[in-house]
């Protein structure tokens, strides 16, 4: 937080631009509502939304916490299972023909439509939410990871072969590090998908989470509270994305895409 | 210095009527035909030929990266099975891993099979120093110039102290000045270590400067058209290239290629 404030005020252009654009959008929205006076049922002002949040912040944050928990569980499981599947697919022709083909076929079904089925299978507790988040998040991870594991310089593999490397050493020392940039690209898509999955799970059944909050507020025509929930989701989704992005910067200082972003790796060396 | 070995010495690498054919949609395509070549222990042999003549394929066959279609390859008196033991390879591109420091990249050839010992680490640092990379051990490959990166990849090939060193146009992507430097450094390190060395290049001058023998290859399908013994004194410094003897060798090889219609005279 301190770092963010420092970046904001000490002229980190990127951060300042983002904050200025967001603030300008909110101000325009507020002015628009003030000038055109739409029904609060249609479009409440940002100030009203903020006030509604402050009435019951604990309630919103508790539900948000639940959604966040479902999202993260689904995401972490998707990464672990997805990476394992990708390694299997790359190393086994059989798995490539079976699981990979099946995954690609399954990916073409609108997965949101499967949500009710998960409720029948798993009930109305946290399980179907995590499962749906996992199901949505795992596709970009498997597909990007398979691509990453395969896009290894053939000369590098030749080098490993003449050095008599075991398949395990090739995986750990060459393929896996080579695939990390792709994995992170997949994870950035997956984290947003996991959040979508958790919300869809809460829409379908249950009594907790921001998705459930939106349904309740909608039922009462409480548009302001719908907007509170949406804005909270926007904030959390953005934070999650940048957490993955930040982890990527820490893990891949060597990658071309990161070199311009911070010079410290060269200085450290 | 006298030539390294007499013709009676048993060959370290022996290729007997080696051929390589690739399948293609329009039927089999011959890349190499009837290659007979003996490389004696501690001999520096270069293969020169036009691009696409299969000289890199020849190196891949000796490295065990691809199988032969015809013929036999013996290394150290035994038929080649898989990749040869105690082998070092330098590719045209340095293939350094971007996420490893220069030192860790050099240690990689050992790390593939076991943890390097403190002794080997010290050896790696000494090798890097020897190649003018002292102080760059903890830098990353992308912080180094092309010449420095290729030097590091030569250190990596030398670290495990191989008996056989294969180099596939290692200086082909470098600028002329860096290339001269690396030619001298390679000549020196070979003088000190006397590895059996198979060197692929398309530069006639480079081949003459470095080698004991130069193998000339034809256009595809690749065949050996001539083998020329280079009887220039060692150690060779860059000044060798200004001598009439050196010019005569280059001319002879060039003339021969011209007769075959491979280069213009």
Interface test with B, best of A153, A156, A159, A262 (most B CBs within 10 A): A159
Q: What tens-digit pLDDT sequence spans chain A (269 residues)?
A: 556 665 555 556 777 888 899 899 999 999 999 999 999 889 999 999 999 999 999 999 999 999 999 999 999 999 999 999 999 999 998 998 898 888 888 888 888 888 899 999 998 889 999 999 999 999 999 999 999 999 999 999 999 999 999 999 999 999 999 999 999 999 999 999 999 999 999 999 888 999 999 999 999 999 999 999 999 999 999 999 999 999 998 888 777 777 655 444 444 43
Cα–Cα distance measured from residue B92 to residue B101, given in angstroms and rounded to the nearest whole number:
20
A162 CA to chain B: closest CA distance, Å? Answer: 6
Distance (Å) from the C-alpha of residue B90 to the closest C-alpha of chain A?
9
| Mutation site for B-interface testing, chosen from A254, A259, A260, A261 by largest number of B Cβ within 10 Å | A254
Q: Which residues of chain B from 133 to 172 reach within 8 Å of chain A, CB to CB? A: 138-140, 142-143, 160
Kindly state the tokens that stand for A40. Answer: 């609060």
Chain B residue with minimal CA distance to A180?
A: B99
**Residue B69 binned pLDDT confidence (cut-offs 50, 70, 90):** very high
- Using 50, 70 and 90 to split pLDDT, how confident is the model at B228? very high
Domain residue extents for chain B? 93-162
CA-based nearest residue in chain B for residue A179: B99
Dist. CA B177–CA A187, nearest whole Å: 45
Q: To 10 degrees, what angle do helices A13-36 and A2-9 make?
A: 80
For residue A251, the chain B residue with the least C-alpha distance is B99
Lowest mean pLDDT among A12-16, A155-159, B37-41, B207-211: A12-16
CA distance A156 to chain B (A): 6
The residues, ordered by sequence, that sit 6+ positions from B89 with a Cβ below 8 Å of its Cβ are: A158, A159, A162, B59, B63, B157, B165, B166, B167, B168
In sequence order, what DSSP letters do the residues of A36-69 get, joined into one string? H---TTT---HHHHHHHHHHSHHHHHHHHHHHHH
Structure-block tokens of residue B161:
């102290």
Distance, CA of B151 to CA of B180 (rounded, Å): 13
pLDDT for position A269: 38
Residue B239 and residue B232: Cα distance in Å, rounded?
Answer: 12
The domain segmentation of chain A, as residue ranges, is: 44-249
- Look at B143 and A266 and tell me if their CB atoms are within 8 Å: yes
Residue range B220-227: mean pLDDT, rounded:
90
> Which residues in A lie closer than 8 A to residue B140 (C-beta atoms)?
254, 265-266, 269
Closest Cα in chain A, distance from residue B52 (Å): 18
Please name the member of A161, A166, A254 whose beta carbon is closest to the beta carbon of B140: A254
Contact by Cβ (8 Å): B124, B106:
yes
Burial string for A57-87 (b: 16+ CB within 10 Å, else e) reads: eeebeebbebbbbbbbbbbebbbeebbebbb
Contacts of A175 in chain B (CB under 8 A): none
Q: What is the mean pLDDT of chain B?
A: 90
Question: What was the ipTM of the complex prediction?
Answer: 0.88
Task: Give the homologous superfamily in CATH for domain A44-249.
Answer: MetI-like (1.10.3720.10)
Q: Which of A164, A166, A173 has the CB atom closest to B83's CB atom?
A: A164
CB < 8 Å & 24+ apart, contacts of B232-238:
B232/B208, B233/B1, B234/B1, B234/B187, B234/B191, B235/B1, B235/B187, B235/B188, B235/B191, B236/B187, B236/B209, B236/B210, B237/B184, B238/B180, B238/B183, B238/B184
Rounded Cα gap, residues B155 and B189, in angstroms: 10
Q: Is B115 at the interface with chain A, CB within 8 A?
A: no
HSE, side-chain direction, 13 A CA sphere, residue A3:
0
| Chain position carrying tokens 């190196």 | B59
In this prediction, residues B128-153 reach a mean pLDDT of 93
Structure confidence at residue A9 (pLDDT): 56
| Chain A residues within 8 angstroms (CB to CB) of chain B | 153, 155-156, 158-166, 169, 173-174, 177, 252, 254-256, 259, 265-266, 269
From the list B65, B91, B142, the residue facing A259 with the nearest CB is B142
């Amino acid at each position: 937080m301190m770092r963010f404030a420092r970046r904001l005020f000490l002229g980190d252009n990127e951060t300042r631009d983002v904050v200025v654009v967001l603030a300008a959008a909110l101000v325009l929205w507020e002015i628009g509502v003030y000038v055109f006076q739409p029904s609060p049922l249609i479009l409440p002002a940002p100030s009203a939304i903020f006030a509604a949040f402050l009435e019951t912040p604990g309630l919103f944050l508790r539900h948000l916490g639940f959604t966040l928990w479902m999202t993260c569980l689904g995401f972490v499981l998707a990464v672990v299972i997805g990476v394992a599947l990708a390694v299997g697919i790359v190393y086994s022709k059989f798995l490539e023909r079976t699981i990979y083909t099946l995954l690609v076929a399954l990916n073409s079904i609108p997965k949101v439509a499967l949500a009710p089925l998960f409720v029948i299978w798993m009930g109305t507790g946290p399980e179907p939410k995590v499962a749906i988040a996992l199901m949505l998040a795992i596709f970009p991870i498997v597909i990007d990871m398979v691509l990453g594991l395969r896009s290894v310089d053939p000369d590098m593999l030749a080098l490993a072969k003449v050095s008599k490397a075991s398949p395990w050493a090739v995986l750990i020392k060459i393929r896996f590090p080579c695939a990390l940039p792709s994995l992170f690209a997949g994870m950035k898509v997956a984290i947003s998908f996991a959040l979508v999955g958790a919300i869809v799970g809460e829409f379908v059944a249950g009594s907790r989470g921001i998705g459930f909050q939106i349904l309740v507020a909608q039922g009462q025509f409480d548009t302001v509270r719908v907007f509170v929930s949406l804005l909270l989701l926007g904030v959390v989704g953005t934070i999650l994305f940048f957490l993955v992005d930040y982890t990527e910067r820490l893990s891949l200082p060597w990658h071309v895409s990161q070199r311009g972003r911070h010079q410290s790796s060269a200085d450290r060396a | 210095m006298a030539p390294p070995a007499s013709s009676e010495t048993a060959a370290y690498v022996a290729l007997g009527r080696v051929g390589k054919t690739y399948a293609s949609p329009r039927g089999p395509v011959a890349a190499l035909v009837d290659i007979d070549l003996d490389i004696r222990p501690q001999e520096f042999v270069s293969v020169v030929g036009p691009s696409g003549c299969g000289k890199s394929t020849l190196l891949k066959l000796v490295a065990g990266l691809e199988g032969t279609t015809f013929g036999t390859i013996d290394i150290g008196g035994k038929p080649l099975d898989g990749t040869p033991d105690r082998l070092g390879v330098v590719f045209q591109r340095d293939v350094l891993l971007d996420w490893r420091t220069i030192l860790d990249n050099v240690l990689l050839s050992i790390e593939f099979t076991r943890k390097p010992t403190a002794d080997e680490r010290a050896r790696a640092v000494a090798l890097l120093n020897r190649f003018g990379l002292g102080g760059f051990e903890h830098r990353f490959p992308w912080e180094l110039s092309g010449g420095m990166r290729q030097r590091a990849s030569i250190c990596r090939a030398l670290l495990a102290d191989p008996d056989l060193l294969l180099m596939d146009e290692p200086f082909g992507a470098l600028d002329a000045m860096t290339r001269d430097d690396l030619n001298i450094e390679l000549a020196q390190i070979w003088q000190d270590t006397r590895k059996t060395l198979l060197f692929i290049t398309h530069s006639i001058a480079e081949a003459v400067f470095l080698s004991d023998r130069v193998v000339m290859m034809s256009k595809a399908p690749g065949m050996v058209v001539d083998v020329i013994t280079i009887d220039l004194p060692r150690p060779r410094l860059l000044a060798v290239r200004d001598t009439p003897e050196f010019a005569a060798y280059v001319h002879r090889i060039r003339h021969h290629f011209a007769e075959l219609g491979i280069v213009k005279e």
